[in-house]
Structure 1
Amino acid sequence: MEKRVLGKTRLEVSVVGFGGIPLQRVDRDTARELIHRASDLGMNFIDTARGYTVSEELIGHALKGCREKWIIATKSTARTYASMKSDVEISLRNLQTDYIDLYQFHLVKTHEQFDEIMGEDGAYRALQEAQKEGKIGHIGFTTHDLGMLEKAIDSGYFSTVQFPYNIIENQGEKLFEKAKAAHIGVIAMKPLAGGAIEEGSLALRYILENPHVTTVIPGMDHIKQVEENGAVGNERLKITDVEREKIQKIARELGENFCRRCGYCGPCPQGVDIPTQFILEGYYLRYELQDWARERYVALAKNAKDCVQCGICEPKCPYHLPIRKMLERVKENLS
């Protein structure tokens, strides 16, 4: 499979990596079968997270005896020094390894969270210590917010960034170019827009056509998905004119009611994090993670049920989405 260098890490990663979030739906033997087949097809990069329930544990079990074949990335929502130190140790135990290649800050949303991470008692110091102790190799950053993506790139503190990128959500393209120029690896997540895009092979080829993207991490929980995604990395064909027309059609049809998570709709006077509502709804509707999505939705301090239909958000949306109607739909699905 084609390999690209993951920024300043200098790690050579497969252009198609293994997204670990859907592994929550399978048992240990199935996870092992999927991951071993992915390795046979040339995949060597696998991404998971502390928040993906049993995903880390399943990967740890699957990699027994073949750890050296894989570059492991995981991530944590910890923001403080103590909580991140704890999470690193948990990840090491779950993954059954003494070394994690890439440890990432998970879903950083605000300047306040960024400042907390980078503060004296912040989580960044814990990861620096883990590096010195040989427990992790590199520090990465993930977000759905365009402003946070730019802040992470400009800061110079991170070896990689992870951001949504697909046929519908291409708002990060200019910043991907900026990241590559700064030798920061770019990991494309949500390649199928949370399952909204059905043309999987075409979607991956669209992403990998961008030379500023290092690797794409589609989630996989069936052998058929592993085979199809692996074929893209091994036999990637040039996109034809007919396929470009299909891409444009997909973007037009889905774009009318699809949140790009740009964040321009905020701040909500009621304190609702609007893009997060649609992210969780996507997991509920298209990832078959209903319980996982609902638990996180209910745990939010404010969610779609707190919308008072004031409409302040809608004129701010550059894509003219009917946000109030979309929040009503979220409330019906997740409340």
Structure 2
Amino acid sequence: MEYRTLGRTGLRVSAVALGCEGFMHKRAEEVKADFDFAIGHGINFVDIYSSNPDLRADIGAALEGRRGEFIIQGHLCTVWENDQYLRTRDPQKSADSFERQLRQLRTDYLDVGMIHYVDAEADLRTVFDGPIIRLAQRLKAEGRIRSIGLSSHNPAVARMAVETELVDVLMFSINPAYDLQPASEDVDALWADESYARTLHNVDPERERLYELCERTGVGIDVMKVYGGGDLLSEANSPFGRALTPVQCIEYALTRPAVAAVMVGCKSRAEIEAALAWCDAPAAERDYTAVMTGLERFSWRGHCMYCGHCAPCSAGIDIAAVNKFRNLAQVQGEIPETVREHYRTLAHHASECIGCGLCEPRCPFGVEIVEAMHRAAERFGY
């Protein structure tokens, strides 16, 4: 298992992590068996958005005696009413549900307290101009949540949340299909067929700015909807007309800036194994570019996707890393100190490019890599 630091929280989380969907409607002994299996294979991170009391209690029982070894991301603003989960912005209901959550999980704190599902700008204002953010801050001050998070599907709203500097972790939907889509307050548009009926080119700039902002500011991203609700795993349902594997979907998400972990909603042991296959998969199996190239209506032409196909560089330059740091600096207009330091510690820098051009025919997306190295050297000075 690979472990990554979840932004400025300092938490070391498994790159492959668990969503809670797969544990619903299972018996307590089945939940424990699945957690035993996951923990035995290095998974140490779970997201629990559901307020279902049976689910929370079963997960609490499964983690009893090993809470300190496991990182729990629980959600604020979810309640259980009339035998179903509901989102709320009522501060008293949110506080009461939080207290029940701790009791059900048999713990006295959450590692991440995630403000649940903020996709609309008006809702964002309700959260950050009212009692919900004050509740989250109070719980953090009391040590009952260690970090504040927010979940969203809308990159414009997520960016505004990150810019408040109050959010430590962002839970966001990332996959190669959703990344093509512009910002919207209508989450259903992400998987609507009509959204993919038109020609789409490259990662939407708003999404790219969000990932790069999180990287610069130390906000860790953990990923939901990595399989696009399962559509990307099916040739018939994928908007590309081609199926990706679980390993390819996970690899795509984990190569985006600031991403630390992917929360996979696994309903069976086989699905957990399919996600864990990423850990030992060779580069050829992780490679998602074959699905993303040669498409008529979808293109990432000229855009570095950090896939690493350009390697090896004759001068030893990590081209994908240089491109990432150049993009981070370019968006800001000036070079943040964190980006400058990360660039400095690279073993080889853009100025060492000898212009041989061997990398360019290997790039599936037709990036003018030599020119990109020259621009990076100009920006960083070496």
Q: Determine if the TM-score, normalized by the shorter chain, exceeds 0.5.
A: yes
Q: Is 2:193 aligned against 1:179? A: no
What is the deviation of 1:131?
1.7
Using the alignment, how far apart are the partners of 2:63 and 2:296 within structure 1?
38
**2:143 match:** 134
Using the alignment, how far apart are the partners of 1:249 and 1:162 within structure 2?
31
Using the alignment, how far apart are the partners of 1:251 and 1:177 within structure 2?
28
**2:132 match:** 123
Using the alignment, how far apart are the partners of 1:47 and 1:243 within structure 2?
26
Superposed counterparts of 1:117-266, under 5 Å: 117-120=127-130, 122-170=131-179, 171=204, 172-198=207-233, 199-232=245-278, 234-239=279-284, 243-248=288-293
3-state SS, counterpart of residue 283 of structure 2: coil
What is the deviation of 1:251?
10
3-state SS, counterpart of residue 134 of structure 1: coil
Using the alignment, how far apart are the partners of 1:251 and 1:75 within structure 2?
41
Alpha carbons 2:173, 2:224 under 8 Å: kept: yes
Alpha carbons 2:38, 2:272 under 8 Å: kept: yes
Deviations 1:177-209 (A, max 9, x none): 210110000111100001112221221122222
Using the alignment, how far apart are the partners of 1:208 and 1:218 within structure 2?
13
Residue identity opposite 1:7 in structure 2: G
Superposed counterparts of 1:9-24, under 5 Å: 9-24=9-24
Change beyond 3 A, Cα 1:182–1:251: farther
RMSD: 2.3
Q: Is 2:110 aligned against 1:100? A: yes
Structure 2 regions of 5+ residues with no counterpart?
A: 78-87, 180-203, 234-244, 299-382
Deviations 1:229-251 (A, max 9, x none): 1231x324325797522244799
Deviates more, 1:74-83 or 1:161-170: 74-83
Using the alignment, how far apart are the partners of 2:283 and 2:123 within structure 1?
41
**1:111 match:** 121
Residue identity opposite 1:213 in structure 2: V
Using the alignment, how far apart are the partners of 1:88 and 1:241 within structure 2?
38
Alpha carbons 2:219, 2:258 under 8 Å: kept: no
Normalised to the residue count of structure 1, the TM-score between the two structures is: 0.69
Alpha carbons 2:20, 2:48 under 8 Å: kept: yes
Using the alignment, how far apart are the partners of 2:277 and 2:150 within structure 1?
28
Superposed counterparts of 1:17-32, under 5 Å: 17-32=17-32
Change beyond 3 A, Cα 1:251–1:236: farther
Residue identity opposite 2:265 in structure 1: G
What is the deviation of 1:161?
0.6
Using the alignment, how far apart are the partners of 1:192 and 1:181 within structure 2?
26
Structure 1 regions of 5+ residues with no counterpart?
A: 254-335
Deviations 1:274-319 (A, max 9, x none): xxxxxxxxxxxxxxxxxxxxxxxxxxxxxxxxxxxxxxxxxxxxxx
Change beyond 3 A, Cα 1:105–1:248: farther
Overall identity of the aligned pairs, in %:
25
Using the alignment, how far apart are the partners of 2:283 and 2:209 within structure 1?
22
Alpha carbons 2:22, 2:268 under 8 Å: kept: no
Deviations 1:80-126 (A, max 9, x none): 43222212101101211111100111111222222222234x11111
Using the alignment, how far apart are the partners of 1:243 and 1:203 within structure 2?
7
